[in-house]
Amino acid sequence: MPAETVMKLLHHWWTARRDEPVMRGGLTLPRHKPGLPVNGEIATLVMPDRLVLPLLDYHGRRLLPVVSVGQRVDYGESLAPGLIASASGSVIAIEPRPVMHPSGRSELCVVIRPDENGTVESAVHEAVPELTEQRLATCGVTGLGGAGFDTASKVHKATQHGEQLDTLLINAVECEPMISCDESLMMCHATEIIDAIASLMTMTHCKRCVIAIENDKHAAIAALRQALDLRPLALTLQPLAPVYPAGAERQLVERITGQLLFAGERPTHRGILCINVATALAARQSQLGFPMTSRIVTLAGRSVDEPVNVRVRFGTSVAEVLRQTGNKPSLASHQVRTGGPLSGFDLASLEAPVTATTNSIIVQPVQPTVEPLPCIRCDRCSDVCPAGLLPQQLLWYARAEDLAGSRRFGLDSCIECGCCDLVCPSGISLTQTFRHARDSQREQRHRDQLADAAELRFHKREDRLAQRQAARERRRQDARAKLIGDSDAIGDALARARRRRQRHERPGQSGDHATPSHDGDS
């Protein structure tokens, strides 16, 4: 576990209160939501001189660009399947650049130099009376809550198999300390959010909607209730006790509906479509013709002078976000973390660009690394695991790189919330180990898929060669049979040729070069 101040503070807080009753499957953490707007407005950062857009989908798979270096692109234009330009400008490079990933790796990115007049986000499509999957895809709407799933695909998969949706579940739960981007959005845009929910209910034919929100978000709840008074809907505002990580999809569905989802089962199998509140607003904006090219990001941490929530355009580097908000940390003296103090990870480069899944940037002073102690099998990690796993057993298989054993103990069900890290008295980096094991598992699956594809290509090639050889052999057999069957005709043809030659030869001639006879001279 990275040694950072916020994790130490939370650990000490938990140690002091671990004897108090805690809901199984999570932790009750202190509310710490810095940077909430005080004037009802969220500032938008200035357009940077470079935008770096990774060619990756929400699964982390590489995308093939449909643009080339030197090409001019328009705001909202497609750069690759599911990836759109967040500003008008020129493509100056398609090259590997650092991206937001726990390993600090680089991936192929499209680099755009924005135009001078490309600072204003505007509608690029005609508004449509009803929201459609096609409009979601055209405007590049993806999840702004966690994994960044493609929203159009999510809705399509919910209906393509004939699944009847009944409940639209709007996830407004934001229980991790220091992250307040969704709460800021609800405080400032409650009316637009209610309009967005109405559009989603019309598109999905859901009969009812539930907004799940923690009961300590008083200003956001008041704003939503006021907006509902102006536009009544079949909507239930469900306040929840703030227990981390109640915002995880499976845990939220279980808490709201009482239905426990099995491994690999989607909420849509139970007639429930779960959408993040910021994603819902982005869907409404797409209906009005606006592509999704930015998001709200929380800046917080002990090394941030003024915590704030700002709207950041996709492709803006973390360094640029920090510079425009008056922060200039270096990785030599600070730890810059994205994704939250528990569920996130430290950045290896400040040049990594902001994407749809970047909900926060947390800056803390560097603390000395403390070596973890051996596991004492206390089982505290199992008590707080929201997925009901056995982290101490899973750790053994993950460290041994036993992917089969890791899968057997539910590695795929781990949501990387960090609860086990927080309560571990030995300071073991459980989440980081599981994250590395999941990456290894994904890489192994990718290699297996490539090997299977190569084997399939090899067998298809062998089949083609065998078919060609068989066809050649059939042609040879047919030609041979024809020669045998036509042997008399060939002999007749040769005989006719000899008779023809004999008729044309003069008497006494034995060939073309025979000398003429001189009977009169004899």
Average pLDDT over residues 334-349: 91
Give helix then strand counts, H and E, for the chain: 15, 16
Q: pLDDT tens digits, residue range 393-448?
A: 999 998 888 888 888 888 888 888 899 999 999 999 999 899 888 888 878 887 88
Check the CA dihedral 484-489-490-495 and report its sign: positive
Bond preceding residue 245 cis, omega within 30 of 0: yes
pLDDT at 331: 87
| Adjacent-strand bridge partners of 84 | 78
Q: What phi, psi does 478 have (nearest 5°)?
A: -65, -40
Average pLDDT over residues 210-232: 93
pLDDT at 489: 66
The fraction of the chain above a pLDDT of 70, given in percent, is 89
Half-sphere exposure of residue 331, counting CA atoms within 13 Å on the CB side? 12
| 329 Cβ neighbours under 8 A, 6+ residues apart | 303, 322, 336, 363
Question: Is the per-residue pLDDT at 284 higher than 50?
Answer: yes
CA-to-CA distance for 396 and 14, rounded, in angstroms?
Answer: 25
Residue whose entry in the numeric block shows the structure tokens 């680099």: 111
Q: pLDDT tens digits, residue range 71-99?
A: 999 999 999 998 999 999 999 999 999 99
- Beta strand pairing status for 272-276 and 235-240? unpaired
Average pLDDT over residues 252-262: 85
Pick 498 or 304 by higher pLDDT: 304
Average pLDDT over residues 144-166: 78
Q: pLDDT tens digits, residue range 305-327?
A: 899 999 999 999 999 999 999 99
The answer to whether residues 441 and 406 touch, using CB atoms and an 8 Å cutoff, is: yes
pLDDT at 18: 43
Q: Place 520 in a pLDDT band, splitting at 50, 70 and 90.
A: very low
Q: Place 160 in a pLDDT band, splitting at 50, 70 and 90.
A: low
Q: Which helix (H) or strand (E) holds 78?
A: strand 78-80
The answer to whether residues 355 and 317 touch, using CB atoms and an 8 Å cutoff, is: no
CA-to-CA distance for 79 and 290, rounded, in angstroms?
Answer: 17
Q: Place 10 in a pLDDT band, splitting at 50, 70 and 90.
A: low
pLDDT at 402: 87
| Adjacent-strand bridge partners of 310 | 43, 297
Average pLDDT over residues 338-353: 91
pLDDT at 519: 46
Distance of CA 247 to the CA centre of its chain: 18
The rounded mean pLDDT for the chain is 86
Q: pLDDT tens digits, residue range 116-148?
A: 765 566 778 899 999 999 999 999 999 898 778
pLDDT at 506: 60
| Adjacent-strand bridge partners of 82 | none
Q: Quote the pTM value.
A: 0.80
Q: Place 517 in a pLDDT band, splitting at 50, 70 and 90.
A: very low
pLDDT at 499: 84
pLDDT at 412: 86
Q: What's the token pair of residue 253?
A: 């569905």
Average pLDDT over residues 27-34: 88
Average pLDDT over residues 354-367: 92
Strongest mean pLDDT among 112-121, 204-213, 400-409, 499-508: 204-213
Residues of the chain with CATH 3.40.50.11540: 126-291
Q: What's the token pair of residue 405?
A: 């054993």
pLDDT at 301: 92
Spatial strand order of the sheet with 43-44 comes to 43-44, 308-313, 294-300, 360-365, 334-338, 345-346
Q: pLDDT tens digits, residue range 444-482?
A: 887 888 899 999 999 999 999 999 999 999 998 888 777
CA-to-CA distance for 272 and 252, rounded, in angstroms?
Answer: 11
For every residue of 340-352, DSSP letters joined together read -TTT-EE-S-TTP
Q: Place 350 in a pLDDT band, splitting at 50, 70 and 90.
A: very high
Average pLDDT over residues 262-268: 81
Question: Is the per-residue pLDDT at 485 higher than 50?
Answer: yes
Q: What's the token pair of residue 212?
A: 């799940």
The fraction of the chain above a pLDDT of 90, given in percent, is 52
Using DSSP's 3-state secondary structure scheme, residue 127 falls into coil
Q: What's the token pair of residue 328?
A: 């200039």
Question: Is the per-residue pLDDT at 271 higher than 50?
Answer: yes
Closest CA to 297 of 5, 467, 45: 45
Q: Place 13 in a pLDDT band, splitting at 50, 70 and 90.
A: very low
CA-to-CA distance for 343 and 386, rounded, in angstroms?
Answer: 13
Q: Give the torsion through C-alpha atoms of 293, 299, 303, 305, to 10 deg.
A: 110
126-291 belongs to which homologous superfamily? Answer: NADH-ubiquinone oxidoreductase 51kDa subunit (3.40.50.11540)
Q: Give the torsion through C-alpha atoms of 91, 95, 98, 99, to 10 deg.
A: 70
Q: Which helix (H) or strand (E) holds 517?
A: none
In whole angstroms, how far apart are CA 115 and each of 66, 70, 83?
A: 20, 14, 19
